[in-house]
Chains A and B, each alone.
Chain A
Amino acid sequence: MAEVFELHLRRRDLGKLVAASLALSGLTACAERREKIFPYVRRPAGVVPGVATHYATSVVRDGFAVGVLAESHEGRPTKIEGNPEHPASLGAAGVFEQASVLDLYDPARVAGSRGPLGLTSRESLERELSAAFGRGAAPWLVLEPTSSPSLLRALAALRARFPRARVSFHAPLAADARYAATERLFGRPLEPQYRFERATVVLALGADFLHDMPLSLRHARDFATRRAPGPAMSRIYAAETTLTPTGTLADERIGLAPSELVRFAAAVLAELAKQGELATALPDGVKSALARGAPLGETEAAFARKVARELARARGAALVVAGPGTPESVQVLALLANAALGSVGRTLSFVEPVPSGQDGALPLAKLPDALRAGDVGALVFAGTNPVYSAPELALDELVARAQSSFCLAHVENETARACGSVLPEAHYLESWGDARAGDGTLSFVQPLIEPLRPSASALELVAGLAFGFPASTHEFVRDTERARLGLGPASADIGFDFEAEWERNVQRGFVEHSEFAAVNPTLAPERAVPLLEQALSAPSSASGFELHLACSPTLYDGRFSENAWLLELPHPLTKQSWGNAALVSSRTAAMLGRHTGDVVELTHGTRRLRAPLVILPGHADGSVTLELGFGHAVADQLSHGVGVNASVLGVPFGTVARVEVRPTSAKADLALTEDHWLLAEEAVAHELTLASYTQNPPKYEHDLAAQPSLLPSFEYAGTQWAMSIDLSLCSGCNACVVACQAENNTPVVGKDLVKNSREMYWLRIDRYLTGNPDAPRVLQQPMLCQHCEKAPCEYVCPVNATVHSTDGLNEMVYNRCIGTRFCSNNCPYKVRRFNWFDFSGARGATLLQRNPDVTVRERGVMEKCTYCVQRIRRAEILARREQRRLRPGEVVTACQQTCATGAIAFGSLDDESSEMLRRRREPRAFAAFAELGTRPRTRYLAKIRNLDGEETGS
């Protein structure tokens, strides 16, 4: 869309002009219409229409902040990028950060306040809420765990004003086990900090550390620094129940049911305890407790021995990580192993817990009894959805027993439906706030836009209750910051320019060096003994299957349930879109006599759940994984009926439970974007072991050069764009997929079309499984347009709609395309996408989020990855304006920018300094389907696995 709307609005006022967005729809006929131009009335400083600006802010989830940069076009936030300076991002952004911008424009957002007595204005509801807090029985506030100094300050003030007020923190995935474990061993809860850049050997115990831990983006960056093939390459072992992105990148992994995981961790620790100098680190009580565990299977035991040997060999540079979903026992065992290995202070350190304010907070589990007893006055849910995520508390019925109930919600979720009053929750791009990152760094949430509709953040609500409405969160956060700096009232500033400091910090998005200092706690290993004795002696004879609950890699805990991008996003391993499933191994499925797509019934006590079965090779036998976040029950919403809600079984996250699984005759309607698994020899993706790679490097490039051609060769010179993708670094986490979708206005098509293989991703991740079908190796391959020099798509287009640019791009000219689709037939990589219908106005799509630099494609045209040509041309225009050459690394593609492991490198072939070229010259660089003679510009780097010699279980 080339026309700019020069809005007469301030940057943050855009919502008032939603109607103008109609003109954002693209690609219509050539006939010119009479358009209006609306220039600004008073032009805000620093805004140049047509030039995007970036603002630092933070995405906060469960109290942990990730610093991001939000891109704004004439006041519309359109895209989220990682903040390169922020320690929790280092420039990367994950799936949820990337997708979060869509929620801002979500058409399903709570439209307006809804209260009793027909109250519909925000102000009247706030008055009502304040009044309700002061009268009747004790008020009860349920919040998401938080690390926000401002919110904690407001909470303290609230408690002071309403001493009877009770506060609960609720998040279904809140990782209490690590705090419990640290409290047990060190006497107080602590936040472990992992240093993967220092770790030579890592054991991940149910830990998807690249993906679902508070500092995962940083972990991934650090991890990648040690994964270049060579003597310094780290070695990763993973023991996990389901297959996770981290598991796919591990050099070796083993699938273990949750109870086996405990015994496996114990076996590793016991093995370590036998090793000479390590033996002294553990008290005998622990050793004898470890011996109580039932023996592991032969393969598992051998693996445990080997892992222990390798860990011990890397003493001081070894690291054992337990995932947030593992029980306390596993966490304790991991801490003990780290202690025994001397990791503390080297690869592992501790800081104070990031979410705080827990003192005096009541567990949510106490709420039902209080409600039954009629002890609750005003019940307020802010930013949490316990009716959905804690169904065992039966809050949907009990909420009515509170004297009044309020819900601050983003969308009309289950809790909002149960409450008497609903207040719209502000998006983080609309509100001020602060929070701490995983290492304690104080980060700021800065709004880019005035709230699209009257709405409030949790901070605003609490501050309003504590100090009276309306609360200015901007002032409040500033004041908190002043207080943190030890400054009094503004008039008292002497010799310190708070304004300058504040502006610097807000501009940067965080306060430099504000991370928590590492603490040196004293370990009391003997305190682990009772727990270990209990955990290891638990009977393993019980019937049924072990249930493993996991964080959804696409919907997190369900808070993104209305995010169309994430609903459609294929699961990294099962490639399931629009839904979740009961994941089992192929052996378990065979035991049940059912296949992928059949429905099974899971029973836990009296609670039942019917879920479709999906076979996930490599999953632990005898256990079932259910991912949280699906199965929402609010009618008319996008997420309605998508997947099943695993919380219904009433098993808290992070605990081990057994369920009965009964096959049924029903069939489910699954949307799997890839539905077969195993692959023999494949010319499209290679993997090698480190040993074979160093001793006998492959000659892929030589094979490519040897391809004969009847046609004269075509000489390319000057700037020539190319990409190198390191398969050793791709975990399949999907962040690039969502980044591409946000950058390139790629539509969401819905379940029915996904089922018919019509998804529109320009960049998808192909997942290959090789080796033993029960313990497969996973290869994740980002597949995007390869920009072939002899592109087979080009010479079959009858209208020159896809041709080659002088700088080596395979160009797709949408406005020339007539839609013969021959190009797609002729593309061996199948990266071309077709607009089967008019997708530009599809449900869940938001016109305001669209990137104005990329054409919105019309019905009937082909589209595909362009190497982010809009970014290339923008950089070129800048360079031409400034009469200079392009700077090395000046052009970054959206997928490259967001990738936490840096698997994707992009640059020009004439830029000798580029990482892309360095990788391309590695012997393991190969072209996909080189033998077809397409001469792709994209190179993949064969996945290298750092094996210790023999491989267990394959």
Chain B
Amino acid sequence: MAALFPPWSNRALRIALVVVGILAVSALCFPMVYVRTPFVTNEHVALDQPVAFDHRHHVLDEGIACLYCHTDAERSAYAGLPSTDVCMGCHSQVWNQSPLLEPVRQSYFSGRALAWNRVHSLAEFVYFDHSVHVARGVACEHCHGPVETMARVEKTVPLDMDFCLDCHRNPKEKLGFDAQRDFSAMRTEDGRFPAHTGHAVTELTTCSTCHR
């Protein structure tokens, strides 16, 4: 009686096993790689906005500082987008006939808000506070990238927890200042800092710094 399987089946079985192994490993690795791609992080995705606002022109040509429009960054958790009257502050005088600014004028006279597309977005359970970062000297471009070179704003960093921890773990190295030194709020009466207990978690990496 002939054998059940031909001689080439040995090789076929082994190849099949190797392929299954590779597929299994890929199935495990693929999601880990995928979540780091721009498909998920939305990095480098420039969105169309209701107004063709060009940061290059406003920042580089006109020399307008970030905080002129994003006023609240210094005092609120949210940097905020400028209200229409801020745009109109200048554009009632300059380019006041430009068709590009038609939506702005429409908004201003109708009282309906401009609906901008959010570019930099964090999960709902992350409590990021602009004001404290600005006050501690974290540059805008650290998280937002070189906005002054962008025709349409896009994300340049993933803004995931990995990214946040990168600085929160080592602000001195990453941002050039000694966070421990500067956290006067956390200091004890005699200027000591919480004793080193082997837990390298600091005020900056403790969970409720960002999650409440």
Most buried by A among B76, B111, B127, B202: B127
* A183 shortest CB reach to chain B, Å: 55
| Given A4-B78, A32-B121: A717 touches B72 (CB 8 Å cut-off) | no
Contacts of A39 in B (CB 8 A): 80-84, 113-114, 116
Contacts of B189 in A (CB 8 A): 910, 912
Contacts of A30 in B (CB 8 A): 123
Contacts of A873 in B (CB 8 A): 127, 208-209, 212
Contacts of B206 in A (CB 8 A): 805-807, 811
Contacts of A880 in B (CB 8 A): 132, 135-136, 182-185
| Given A866-B208, A866-B212, A910-B189: A2 touches B127 (CB 8 Å cut-off) | yes
B170 close to A (CB within 8 Å): no
* B49 shortest CB reach to chain A, Å: 10
Secondary structure at the B interface, as helix, strand, loop or mixed, is: loop
Are A879 and B122 within 8 A (Cβ)? Answer: no
| Of A26, A32, A40, A877, the contact of B132 (CB 8 Å cutoff) | A877
A806 to B183, CA, bound (A): 13
A809 to B209, CA, bound (A): 11
| Of A49, A719, A854, A884, the contact of B78 (CB 8 Å cutoff) | A49
Contacts of A816 in B (CB 8 A): 207, 211
> What are the interface flags for B103-123 relative to A under an 8 Å C-beta threshold, 1 for contact and 0 otherwise?
000011001111111100111
Are A8 and B113 within 8 A (Cβ)? Answer: yes
A885 close to B (CB within 8 Å): yes
Are B124 and A3 within 8 A (Cβ)? Answer: yes
| Of A2, A41, A809, the contact of B107 (CB 8 Å cutoff) | A41
| Of A807, A853, A855, the contact of B186 (CB 8 Å cutoff) | A807
A506 close to B (CB within 8 Å): no
Contacts of B83 in A (CB 8 A): 6, 8, 39-43
Contacts of A7 in B (CB 8 A): 113
Q: How many residues of A contact B (CB 8 A)?
A: 63
> What are the interface flags for A1-20 relative to B under an 8 Å C-beta threshold, 1 for contact and 0 otherwise?
11110111000000000000
> What are the interface flags for A801-833 relative to B under an 8 Å C-beta threshold, 1 for contact and 0 otherwise?
001011101010111100000000000000000
Within 8 A of A (CB), among B127-179: 127-129, 131-132, 135-136
Are A2 and B125 within 8 A (Cβ)? Answer: yes
* B92 shortest CB reach to chain A, Å: 13
A48 to B73, CA, bound (A): 10
Which of B13-21, B56-64, B190-198 binds A? B190-198
Are A2 and B123 within 8 A (Cβ)? Answer: yes
Are B194 and A717 within 8 A (Cβ)? Answer: yes
Are B207 and A803 within 8 A (Cβ)? Answer: yes
Contacts of B131 in A (CB 8 A): 877, 881
A281 close to B (CB within 8 Å): no
A232 close to B (CB within 8 Å): no
Contacts of B107 in A (CB 8 A): 8, 41
A28 close to B (CB within 8 Å): yes
B40 close to A (CB within 8 Å): yes
| Of B111, B125, B184, B208, the contact of A809 (CB 8 Å cutoff) | B208
Are B192 and A718 within 8 A (Cβ)? Answer: yes
CB closest residue in chain B, given A855: B125
A3 to B117, CA, bound (A): 13
> What are the interface flags for A29-68 relative to B under an 8 Å C-beta threshold, 1 for contact and 0 otherwise?
0111111111111110000111100000000000000000
* B173 shortest CB reach to chain A, Å: 20
A586 to B159, CA, bound (A): 63
A880 to B192, CA, bound (A): 17
CB closest residue in chain B, given A9: B113
CB closest residue in chain A, given B114: A39
Are B184 and A884 within 8 A (Cβ)? Answer: yes
Are A885 and B184 within 8 A (Cβ)? Answer: yes
Contacts of B81 in A (CB 8 A): 6, 37, 39
Contacts of A805 in B (CB 8 A): 201, 206-208
A876 to B136, CA, bound (A): 13
Interface size on B, as a range, is: 35 or more
Are B187 and A2 within 8 A (Cβ)? Answer: no
A503 close to B (CB within 8 Å): no
Are B76 and A48 within 8 A (Cβ)? Answer: yes
Secondary structure at the A interface, as helix, strand, loop or mixed, is: loop
Are A34 and B118 within 8 A (Cβ)? Answer: yes
| Given A7-B113, A806-B203, A815-B125: A885 touches B185 (CB 8 Å cut-off) | yes
A886 close to B (CB within 8 Å): yes
A540 close to B (CB within 8 Å): no
A27 close to B (CB within 8 Å): yes
Are B203 and A714 within 8 A (Cβ)? Answer: no
Contacts of A814 in B (CB 8 A): 125, 211
Are A885 and B187 within 8 A (Cβ)? Answer: yes
B10 close to A (CB within 8 Å): no
A716 close to B (CB within 8 Å): yes
> What are the interface flags for A847-862 relative to B under an 8 Å C-beta threshold, 1 for contact and 0 otherwise?
0000001110000000
B93 close to A (CB within 8 Å): no
* A873 shortest CB reach to chain B, Å: 6
> What are the interface flags for A900-922 relative to B under an 8 Å C-beta threshold, 1 for contact and 0 otherwise?
00000000001010000000000
Within 8 A of B (CB), among A47-94: 48-51
Are A26 and B118 within 8 A (Cβ)? Answer: no
| Of B77, B116, B186, B207, the contact of A876 (CB 8 Å cutoff) | B186
Contacts of B136 in A (CB 8 A): 880
A714 to B183, CA, bound (A): 22
Are B42 and A2 within 8 A (Cβ)? Answer: no
B85 close to A (CB within 8 Å): yes
A50 to B132, CA, bound (A): 13
* A543 shortest CB reach to chain B, Å: 60
Contacts of B197 in A (CB 8 A): 714-715
| Given A2-B127, A39-B83: A718 touches B121 (CB 8 Å cut-off) | no
Are B76 and A718 within 8 A (Cβ)? Answer: no
Are A719 and B185 within 8 A (Cβ)? Answer: yes
Contacts of B209 in A (CB 8 A): 873
| Given A36-B117, A42-B84: A49 touches B76 (CB 8 Å cut-off) | yes
A665 close to B (CB within 8 Å): no
Are B212 and A41 within 8 A (Cβ)? Answer: no
A30 to B189, CA, bound (A): 41
CB closest residue in chain B, given A714: B197
Contacts of A174 in B (CB 8 A): none
Are B207 and A40 within 8 A (Cβ)? Answer: no
Are B40 and A31 within 8 A (Cβ)? Answer: yes
* B155 shortest CB reach to chain A, Å: 10
Contacts of B126 in A (CB 8 A): 2
A870 close to B (CB within 8 Å): yes
Are A49 and B72 within 8 A (Cβ)? Answer: yes
Contacts of A648 in B (CB 8 A): none
| Of B42, B127, B194, the contact of A718 (CB 8 Å cutoff) | B194
B36 close to A (CB within 8 Å): no
A52 to B84, CA, bound (A): 22
| Of A2, A42, A881, A884, the contact of B85 (CB 8 Å cutoff) | A42
Known: A39-B82, A49-B78. 15 other contacts (CB 8 A): A2-B123, A3-B118, A6-B113, A8-B113, A32-B123, A34-B118, A36-B117, A37-B118, A41-B111, A48-B72, A49-B80, A50-B72, A719-B186, A805-B208, A806-B202
Instruction: Give 10 closest A-B pairs by Cβ, nearest first.
Output: A8-B113, A40-B83, A50-B76, A879-B185, A38-B113, A805-B206, A43-B83, A39-B81, A50-B78, A815-B125
- A sample of 30 cross-chain residue pairs with beta-carbon separation below 8 angstroms, ordered by A number, consists of A8-B113, A32-B123, A33-B121, A34-B117, A37-B115, A37-B117, A37-B118, A39-B83, A41-B84, A41-B112, A42-B83, A43-B85, A51-B72, A51-B77, A717-B188, A718-B187, A803-B207, A805-B206, A805-B207, A811-B206, A811-B211, A813-B207, A814-B125, A815-B211, A854-B212, A869-B212, A870-B127, A876-B185, A879-B184, A884-B184
Using CB atoms and an 8 Å cutoff, list the residues of chain A in contact with chain B: 1-4, 6-8, 26-28, 30-43, 48-51, 714-719, 803, 805-807, 809, 811, 813-816, 853-855, 866, 869-870, 872-873, 876-877, 879-881, 883-886, 910, 912
Using CB atoms and an 8 Å cutoff, list the residues of chain B in contact with chain A: 40, 42, 47, 72, 75-78, 80-86, 107-108, 111-118, 121-129, 131-132, 135-136, 182-189, 192-195, 197, 201-203, 206-209, 211-212
